[in-house]
Amino acid sequence: MVGYSDSGKDAGRFTAAWELYKAQEDVVAACNAFGIKVTLFHGRGGSIGRGGGPTYLAIQSQPPGSVMGTLRSTEQGEMVQAKFGLPQTAVRQLEIYTTAVLLATLRPPQPPREEKWRNLMEEISKISCQSYRSTVYENPEFLAYFHEATPQAELGFLNIGSRPTRRKGSTGIGHLRAIPWVFAWTQTRFVLPAWLGVGAGLKGVCEKGHTEDLRAMYKEWPFFQSTIDLIEMVLGKADIPIAKQYDEVLVSESRRELGAAMRGELMTTEKYVLVVSGHEKLSENNRSLRRLIESRLPYLNPINMLQIEILKRLRRDDDNNELRDALLITINGIAAGMRNTG
């Protein structure tokens, strides 16, 4: 079984994706050496930060030989309803799975063309992981900032999950489950788990003169292309002005600097993802997604503004059931608008 959620929370999206890719290569090589037929079971969540994303793209970017006529995968949370809620949609999803598995078996995706590409991935991954962990785990202000800037603490009081938000009583990031970790950042439209560290990694390698290598990797290596495309999709859903509004209303003045620094990181990630993909703007190669996001903004933005005000009042009067009910309505509204939430 290949697990995506906690690896993403521990090391960041890019490093987790690369380490899982290499682990699958090793499993396939070991099974081939002993003549064992392997079926990999992908424990994907709905969000990009938890291994989610378009099914076809995900299967087509697996390591060569890892999809040999069989594949097992989870569908979780709201993705079950979205993908299998209607008979016609369910048939379409099963067609996508079948087509992708057949193609990946008969015409396996290309491995990295050169050893140099692997070395570049290692370098991006190393910088990305260091950048991610220095913010999330090593910055003493981050945990308090996370509690203030997102509705994470309030999510625990709302009866909307199948499990507690934490594995233990500890308040640290390490014991927080991956679903509320991703869900809380999606609510504020910052979507931090899906991109933090990626910009630093790409920038570090581009500044050493490898921009053209990365562009070649994007064009010719399905795994790298799908990784960049998924991050680009998430960046299209992120909204800096909305995330900034949460900071200005809910975060202590002493911690707002951290929020500003992370918004700068988001802009760096956006810049270098576009450099690598060669696109002029986000989701340029997915116009239907761009239109879908833009059509939802007139509904989403006011709900976010309401949520900020409700959180502000609820934190002064946390026993107010009317405010809790109102908060739940805004949470459901934003989740429906953002789609792949947790």
Which amino acid is present at 332? N
pTM for this entry:
0.88
User: Which residue stretches of the chain are H helix?
Assistant: 5-11, 13-33, 55-60, 78-84, 87-106, 115-136, 142-149, 152-155, 178-187, 198-205, 211-220, 222-237, 240-250, 256-277, 287-314, 321-338
Q: Which residues on neighbouring strands pair with residue 166, listed in sequence order?
A: 176
C-beta atoms surrounding 85 within 10 Å: 11
Residue 180: Cβ within 10 Å count? 22
Q: Which residues contact 52 (CB under 8 A, 6 or more apart)?
A: 44, 45, 46, 79, 340
74 in Cβ contact with 42 (< 8 Å): yes
The one-digit pLDDT tens for each residue of the chain (342 residues) are 888 777 888 899 999 999 999 999 999 999 999 999 888 888 776 555 555 566 777 777 788 888 888 888 887 766 787 788 899 999 998 998 899 889 888 888 888 888 999 999 999 999 999 999 999 999 999 999 999 999 988 887 766 555 555 555 556 787 787 778 888 999 999 999 999 999 999 999 999 999 999 999 999 998 999 899 989 988 988 999 999 999 999 999 999 999 999 999 999 999 999 999 999 888 777 788 788 888 888 999 999 999 999 999 999 998 888 999 999 999 988 988 887 554
Nearest Cα neighbor of 24 from 6, 43, 46 is 43
Distance CA(146)–CA(168), nearest Å, equals 18
Spatial distance between the Cα atoms of 258 and 298, rounded to a whole number of angstroms: 29
